[in-house]
């Protein structure tokens, strides 16, 4: 059984610990690694990198990891480490990724790749010139509900897709009555926070993988909660957008309305819900479930608020069965990237996809500032 060294930077954060260390790398180690086509099994050998030695030591002990470090240079100079992974706060990512590329490491990182379009394109050019494997996390493509929805679309059940309505979000506590579920830097623009930068990369890859290229968008981003309380119990000014209301136009003419908010109380089955309406049928998908209704079984809706509505609308949809088992979405993509590095297996979620996500972010920010629609042309990176 072989090992592959992975530098895991920012692993003490919420996403780094929960999704990437516990549910991905530790889970892959527990199952005995990743099996390759030639029969070899390769086990991740992580080194936990961060700035807090107490947290790093505690995580290493909990997940039976032998190595941890506070030195990026030491980790990158160690020939045992073939992959650099980054889950730091967004403003810290680009500099560390540059160092990893200069050291000849394969690089896999959380989105967004960078805080701006030019910087993201620079990193994509560097990765190409370095000749290394590079990838960006696009976890939502591997969620059970989204995979079921894609199967429904590919089957032709929906016919021509007309429109999509998406709702994402939940109430992030301000930090006074209840501790906030997200770190305070997420709500400071100067520290790389904001829901457009955080969520629009997700919407880019979801929309373009499910429905087709985004050609234009309109966005209104706002800060609903201007004052929050940080981890130390101190109030601070929330300078980043905490909600965004956007409309995307898809190349074939479909229209997507997408609401993203950390200031909404949930009254839906899942935190992310997409309703897709086609001329032959409709589908409603969440993180885990997907339901459909065909043209032939669509009930007649009658508008008459003077009497109780006789339709039980929610009961008239059919659940898409889970005909396969679904693993954790982050773990699935980690295994794909490891196979990409180890045996050159296909991996389309590269830095160019990451740049495309930032391109959509950039258009959303400009649309909100200028109060007008923005075109989103095909991505062009000059080398």
With 90 as the cut, is the pLDDT of residue 324 above it?
no
Here the tokens at position 241 are 């957008």
Residue 345 — pLDDT band, cuts 50, 70, 90?
Answer: very high
With 90 as the cut, is the pLDDT of residue 135 above it?
yes
| Distance, CA of 294 to CA of 282 (rounded, Å) | 6
| Distance, CA of 145 to CA of 349 (rounded, Å) | 20
Distances (CA, A) of 22 to 25, 30, 55, 62, 380: 6, 10, 14, 10, 37
pLDDT at residue 228 in the model: 98
Residue 378 — pLDDT band, cuts 50, 70, 90?
Answer: very high
With 90 as the cut, is the pLDDT of residue 383 above it?
no
Q: Please tell me whether the peptide bond between 253 and the residue prior to it is cis, using omega within 30 degrees of 0.
A: no
Q: What average pLDDT does range 292-308 have in this prediction?
A: 94
Residue 102 — pLDDT band, cuts 50, 70, 90?
Answer: very high
- Give the per-residue SS3 of the chain: CEEEEEEEECCCCHHHHHHHHHHHHHHHHHCCCEECCCCCEEEEEEEEECCCHHHHHHHHHHCCCCEEECCHHHHHHCCCEEEEEECCCHHHHHHHHHHHHHCCCEEEECCCCCCCHHHHHHHHHHHHHHCCCEEECCHHHHCHHHHHHHHHHHHCCCCCEEEEEEEEECECCCCCCCCCCCCHHHHCHHHCCCHHHHHHHHHHHHHHHHCCCEEEEEEEEECCCCEEECCCCCEEECCCCCEEEEEEEECCCCEEEEEEECECCCCCCCCEEEEEEECCEEEEECCCCEEEEEHHHCCCCCCCCCCCCCCCHHHHCEECCCCCCCCCHHHHHHHHHHHHHHHCCCCCCCHHHHHHHHHHHHHHHHHHHHCCCEECCCCCCCC
Q: What average pLDDT does range 87-94 have in this prediction?
A: 95
Here the tokens at position 337 are 């990237």
List, for residues 188-237, the tens digit of each pLDDT value. 999 999 999 999 999 999 999 999 999 999 999 999 999 999 999 999 99
| Distance, CA of 188 to CA of 179 (rounded, Å) | 17
Q: Which residues pair with 8 in a beta bridge?
A: 48, 85
Question: What are phi and psi for residue 286, nearest 5 degrees?
Answer: -120, -155
Please state which of the ranges 23-27, 298-302, 354-358 shows the lowest mean pLDDT.
298-302
pLDDT at residue 214 in the model: 98
Which pTM was predicted?
0.95
Residue 257 — pLDDT band, cuts 50, 70, 90?
Answer: very high
pLDDT at residue 42 in the model: 98
With 80 as the cut, is the pLDDT of residue 291 above it?
yes
Residue 1 — pLDDT band, cuts 50, 70, 90?
Answer: confident
Domains of the chain: 2-139+329-349 (3.40.50.720), 140-323+362-366 (3.30.360.10)
With 80 as the cut, is the pLDDT of residue 158 above it?
yes
pLDDT at residue 380 in the model: 86
pLDDT at residue 195 in the model: 98
Characterize the bridge pairing of strands 81-86 and 2-9: parallel
Characterize the bridge pairing of strands 214-222 and 227-229: unpaired
With 80 as the cut, is the pLDDT of residue 241 above it?
yes
Here the tokens at position 311 are 């339709």
Residue length of the chain: 383
List, for residues 42-76, the tens digit of each pLDDT value. 999 999 999 999 999 999 999 999 999 999 999 99
Q: How far is CA 207 from the centre of its chain?
A: 12
With 90 as the cut, is the pLDDT of residue 134 above it?
yes
Q: Are 138 and 336 in contact (CB under 8 A)?
A: no
| Distance, CA of 259 to CA of 167 (rounded, Å) | 5
Please state which of the ranges 42-56, 263-277, 308-322 shows the lowest mean pLDDT.
308-322
Here the tokens at position 1 are 């059984």
Q: What angle do CA 194, 55, 16 make, to 5 degrees?
A: 40
What is the Cα gyration radius of the chain?
A: 22
């Amino acid at each position: 059984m072989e090992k592959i060294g992975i530098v895991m930077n920012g692993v003490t954060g919420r996403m780094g610990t929960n999704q990437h260390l516990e549910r991905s790398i530790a889970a892959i180690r527990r199952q005995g690694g990743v099996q390759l086509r030639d029969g070899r099994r390769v086990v991740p050998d992580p080194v936990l990198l961060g700035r807090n030695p107490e947290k790093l030591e505690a995580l290493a002990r909990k997940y039976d990891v032998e190595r941890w470090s506070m030195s990026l240079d030491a980790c990158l100079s160690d020939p045992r480490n073939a992959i650099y992974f980054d889950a730091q706060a967004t403003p810290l990512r680009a500099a560390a990724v540059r160092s990893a590329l200069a050291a000849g490491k394969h690089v896999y990182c959380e989105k967004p790749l960078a805080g701006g379009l030019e910087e993201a394109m620079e990193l994509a050019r560097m990765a190409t010139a370095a000749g290394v494997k590079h990838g960006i996390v696009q976890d939502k493509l591997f969620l059970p509900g989204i995979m079921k929805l894609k199967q429904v679309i590919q089957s032709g059940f929906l016919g021509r897709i007309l429109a999509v309505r998406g709702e994402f979000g939940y109430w992030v506590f301000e930090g006074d009555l209840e501790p906030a579920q997200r770190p305070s830097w997420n709500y400071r623009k100067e520290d790389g926070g904001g829901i457009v930068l955080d969520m629009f990369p997700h919407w880019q890859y979801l929309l373009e993988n499910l429905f087709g290229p985004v050609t234009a968008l309109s966005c209104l981003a706002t800060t609903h909660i201007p004052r929050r309380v940080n981890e130390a119990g101190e109030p601070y000014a929330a300078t980043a957008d905490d909600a965004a209301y956007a409309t995307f136009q898809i190349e074939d003419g479909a229209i997507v309305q997408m609401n993203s908010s950390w200031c909404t109380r949930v009254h839906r089955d899942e935190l992310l819900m997409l309703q897709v309406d086609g001329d032959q049928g409709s589908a409603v998908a969440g993180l885990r479930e997907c339901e459909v209704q065909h043209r032939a079984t669509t009930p007649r809706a009658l508008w008459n608020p003077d009497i109780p509505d006789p339709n039980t609308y929610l009961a008239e949809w059919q659940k898409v069965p889970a005909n396969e088992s679904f693993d954790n979405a982050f773990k699935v993509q980690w295994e794909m990237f490891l196979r990409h590095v180890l045996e050159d297996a296909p991996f389309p979620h590269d830095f160019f996809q990451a740049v495309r996500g930032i391109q959509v972010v950039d258009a959303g920010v400009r649309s909100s500032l200028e109060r007008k629609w923005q075109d989103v042309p095909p991505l062009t990176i000059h080398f």
